[in-house]
């Protein structure tokens, strides 16, 4: 914290965020608090916290590695060598009488007792840093720019539709790929298959080949669902309703297939 006070070029909320990270870090400037924890500590919304973390990284004072910490947490490292070279730009800091005397900074009396200070910690990752970050989708070592989903393989729209026609011929055919919103819904389904997890914590698919295999199994399970296959009596406004491709791969269809068939997908 003394190094941040002394050498950071930032002021205001950005400086507050740097100090919050320093409060959790070890002597090497390494910490892994959750973004939600940093937001709570600095009295701001998580969205603002993400923005400030990006600003700090772009300034060179903070290095961020997504998912590189314990249990998939974001790993932060304060660039202490850079802080030693940077002169503060805020006028108040430059004129502050305490900086010249530096009595508190030289003694660094508050640092050992700060939460997460752990000056004697042999492990560079502080053992009492708070809960892991929820942002686990980015691969390890990737720089933090903005929260976003990982890049997925190109969605094979036609192959998915062909599997639907082959396995569920009783349902309405999807003949027009350019129909409003159809490609987007197929892409969303493709992304769900590649990023979601089963109830046991394992991924449903990690490669395009595994994703296609899962989708074919998914359509086969849909055949066993009486509601989707219109087996039974419907009345009123639903008397002539039939499930189509968009329904089967949409949120409501997934509930029918995943939760109301015997096998857990």
Low-confidence ranges of the chain (pLDDT < 50): 87-143, 145-146
Q: 83-127: per-residue pLDDT in tens?
A: 866 544 444 344 444 444 444 344 344 444 444 444 444 444 444
Cα angle at 156 between 154 and 160, to 5 degrees?
Answer: 145
The neighbour count for residue 4, using CB atoms within 10 Å, is 22
What gap in Å lies between CA 230 and CA 244, rounded to an integer? 11
E-strand ranges in 96-238 read none
pLDDT of residue 263: 62
pLDDT of residue 150: 62
Tell me which CATH code domain 2-107 carries.
1.10.10.10
Exposed e or buried b for every residue in 118-156, given b needs 16+ CB within 10 A? beebeeebbeebbebbebeebeeeeebeeeeeeeeeebb
Give, to the nearest 10 degrees, the angle between helix 182-195 and helix 208-223: 110
Q: Which residues contact 212 (CB under 8 A, 6 or more apart)?
A: 156, 159, 160, 163
Q: 172-192: per-residue pLDDT in tens?
A: 999 998 888 999 999 999 999
Q: Which residues contact 132 (CB under 8 A, 6 or more apart)?
A: 32, 34, 69, 70, 71, 72, 73
pLDDT of residue 168: 95
User: What is the SS3 assignment for 30?
Assistant: strand
Q: Which residues contact 177 (CB under 8 A, 6 or more apart)?
A: 157, 158, 161, 183
pLDDT of residue 225: 92
Alpha helices by DSSP H, 25-179: 35-41, 46-59, 80-85, 91-95, 97-101, 103-107, 157-167
Domain residue extents for the chain: 2-107, 157-259
């Amino acid at each position: 914290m003394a190094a941040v006070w002394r050498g950071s070029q930032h002021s205001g909320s950005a400086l507050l965020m740097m100090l919050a990270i320093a409060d959790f870090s070890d002597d090497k400037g390494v910490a892994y608090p959750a973004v939600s924890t940093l937001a709570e500590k600095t009295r701001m919304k998580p969205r603002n916290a993400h923005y400030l973390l990006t600003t700090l990284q772009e300034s060179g004072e903070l290095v961020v590695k997504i998912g590189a910490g314990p249990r998939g947490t974001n790993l932060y490292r304060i660039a202490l060598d850079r802080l030693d070279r940077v002169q503060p730009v805020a006028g108040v800091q430059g004129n502050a009488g305490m900086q010249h005397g530096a009595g508190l900074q030289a003694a660094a009396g508050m640092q050992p007792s700060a939460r997460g200070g752990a000056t004697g910690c042999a492990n560079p990752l502080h053992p009492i840093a708070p809960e892991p970050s929820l942002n686990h989708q980015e691969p390890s070592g990737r720089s933090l720019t903005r929260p976003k989903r990982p890049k997925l393989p190109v969605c094979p729209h036609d192959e998915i539709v062909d599997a639907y026609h082959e396995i569920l011929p009783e349902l309405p055919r999807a003949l027009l790929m350019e129909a409003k919103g159809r490609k987007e819904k197929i892409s969303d389904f493709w992304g769900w298959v590649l990023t979601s997890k089963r109830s046991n914590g394992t991924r449903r698919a990690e490669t395009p080949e595994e994703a296609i295999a899962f989708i074919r199994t998914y359509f086969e399970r849909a055949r066993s669902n009486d509601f989707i296959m219109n087996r039974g009596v419907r009345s009123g406004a639903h008397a002539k309703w039939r499930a189509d491709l968009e329904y089967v791969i949409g949120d409501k269809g997934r509930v029918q297939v995943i939760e109301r068939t015997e096998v857990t997908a």
